[in-house]
Amino acid sequence: MTLDAASHALPDAALPAATLLASGEPWLPVCALTDLAPERGAVALVDGVQVAVFRLADDTVHAVQQLDPFSGAYVMARGIVGTRGDAPTVASPMYKQVFDLRTGRCLETVGREPEHLSTWPVRVADGTVYVDRSTRSR
């Protein structure tokens, strides 16, 4: 599935969609939460950047860069979702490095120098997933 945009982290069902858009912040509606299959990735385009969006079993949504920093391939949405302790993770389908979906930090380098993923803030309001286009971590 390819979406129109996407990103990282905390669902906020308490905020109505009108509040997110009226707040002056650049929240971009990406898709309906139900468009994302739990424990699977989807790809979205945010200001020309491919982003891997993940909906977890608890309906938390995270977004990280689609580009695998170790292989140079745009494949992170095809990674395997899991956990390390309390951290939700995705393992690259290429060389199996494991990344924290909340921070983009590489938790398992598989013998290589650490490279991290960019992340974007995400909110869910009124069943719609929003990405903050102005905030990209690195």
Residue 83 lies in a domain: no
Least confident of 83-92, 112-121, 126-135: 126-135
Residue 66 lies in a domain: yes
Mean pLDDT of the 87-111 span = 97
Specify whether the CB–CB gap between 117 and 65 falls below 8 A.
Answer: yes
* Whole-angstrom distance, CA of residue 49 vs CA of residue 15: 26
Specify whether the CB–CB gap between 82 and 92 falls below 8 A.
Answer: no
Residue 61 lies in a domain: yes
The residue written with tokens 């924290």 in the block is 100
The model carries a pTM of 0.82
3-class SS at 63?
strand
Residue 108 lies in a domain: no
* Whole-angstrom distance, CA of residue 68 vs CA of residue 124: 26
Q: Which pLDDT band holds residue 23 (cuts at 50, 70, 90)?
A: low
pLDDT at position 127 is 96
Task: Tally the domains of the chain.
Answer: 1
Residue 8 lies in a domain: yes
Mean pLDDT of the 42-56 span = 93
Specify whether the CB–CB gap between 4 and 44 falls below 8 A.
Answer: yes
Q: Which pLDDT band holds residue 26 (cuts at 50, 70, 90)?
A: confident
Structure tokens at 49: 């950047």
Structure tokens at 15: 């905020």
Residue 107 lies in a domain: no
CATH number for position 35: 2.102.10.10
Which residues, 6 or more positions from 36, have their beta carbon under 8 angstroms from its beta carbon?
1, 42, 53, 54, 55, 61, 129
Residue 96 lies in a domain: no
Residue 99 lies in a domain: no
Q: Which pLDDT band holds residue 137 (cuts at 50, 70, 90)?
A: confident
Mean pLDDT of the 76-97 span = 97
- Domain with 7, as residue range(s), is 2-78+118-132
